[in-house]
Amino acid sequence: MADAPQLALLDGEIRLLGGLGQRLFRLLAAIDSTGSINQAAREVGLTYKGAWEMIERANNLAPQLLVKTAVGGKQGGGTCLSPLGKALLQLFVELEQEHQQFLQDINNRLSTNQSILILLKRLTMKSSARNQFFGTVTEVSVGAVNATVVLTLKGGESLVASVTKESVAALDIKEGIDAVALIKAPQVILVTDFGGYRVSARNQLQGVVTRIHQGDVNAEVVLELPGGDSVASTLTNDSVVNLGLAVGSSATAIFKAGAVVLAVAIT
């Protein structure tokens, strides 16, 4: 069985002085193979006008013409590469091969550094949820319909998520794996004084206010947890005043287990 393709942690392209990049050389290669700028433009996803503008700019920058018109062509066109254009295209092909080998070598080095590998994989994830916590699954309890999953954060705090047992099976959630907990900021309630009451929400994270960003109506308040993670809550400006929230004050972030969405890395 073939090995799984390695994740490209580092990527990039060659760009020469004057902004001459891969798209131009893809166009030059297509012109060389088709003899038609119209067909070459279609192959690289350019309009006919856009292709000519790119060629004209390259011709103006070059000491000699890179692309010139000719009588006839392989596909009935009238465009071909000059000897300088062919030489430059061949040089770029060779540079591109060396560049790809360079990227592969760097990616191989990065893939052996587990700390960097974990960090870069996490940073590639995109989500609209304001709060994203990375941790390790330390408990999975499957019931008749739903399952309770406990995720331990790097600082030792625990998050509880309530998901369907089908989700547990589909995501292959089990003790010991890494997972991401996603919680939208409006679903996080801040409490400064419980007034002798207890709340039913499973997740109650105590922290210190480190930032308050107030808008016209609502505010975003960020708490720093003892372990170093941060949790953000969206609430009204009036609530900020009523709760007496200020940078440095203590508060507890509360959210239900059902508000937590779990994600795991694709392996």
pLDDT at 67: 86
Quickly list H helices, 173-251: 237-243
CATH 3.40.50.80 fits 22-111, yes or no: no
Place of tokens 């592969």: 104
pLDDT at 99: 78
CB-CB contact of 55 with 67 (8 Å): yes
- Among the listed residues 219, 203, 176, the one whose alpha carbon sits nearest the alpha carbon of residue 260: 203
CB-CB contact of 214 with 221 (8 Å): no
Quickly list H helices, the chain: 22-34, 37-44, 48-61, 83-111, 114-123, 165-171, 237-243
User: Distance between alpha carbon 80 and the CA centroid of its chain, in Å?
Assistant: 41
* Angle of helix 22-34 versus helix 37-44 axis, rounded to 10: 140
pLDDT at 7: 52
Give the Cα separation of 181 and 134 in Å (integer). Answer: 6
Give the Cα separation of 80 and 61 in Å (integer). Answer: 18
pLDDT at 195: 85
CB-CB contact of 137 with 176 (8 Å): yes
Q: Is 163 exposed, middle or buried (0-12, 13-18, 19+ CB in 10 A)?
A: buried
**Bridge partner list, 67:** 81
Q: Is 241 exposed, middle or buried (0-12, 13-18, 19+ CB in 10 A)?
A: exposed
- pLDDT by residue for the chain (267 residues), tens only, comes to 344 445 555 566 666 655 567 888 889 999 988 888 889 999 999 888 888 888 887 777 677 788 887 544 444 457 888 888 898 888 888 888 887 888 787 777 766 665 555 555 544 445 456 788 888 999 999 998 899 999 998 889 999 999 998 999 988 899 998 888 899 999 999 999 988 888 989 999 999 999 999 989 999 999 999 988 889 999 999 999 999 999 999 999 999 999 999 988 765
Q: What residue spans define the domains of the chain?
A: 22-111, 131-263
Tokens encoding 62: 């070059």
**Bridge partner list, 158:** 152
Cα angle 57, 61, 65 (rounded to 5 degrees) comes to 85
Best CATH choice for the domain 131-263 from the list 2.40.50.100, 3.30.930.10, 2.130.10.10, 3.90.950.20? 2.40.50.100
pLDDT at 240: 95
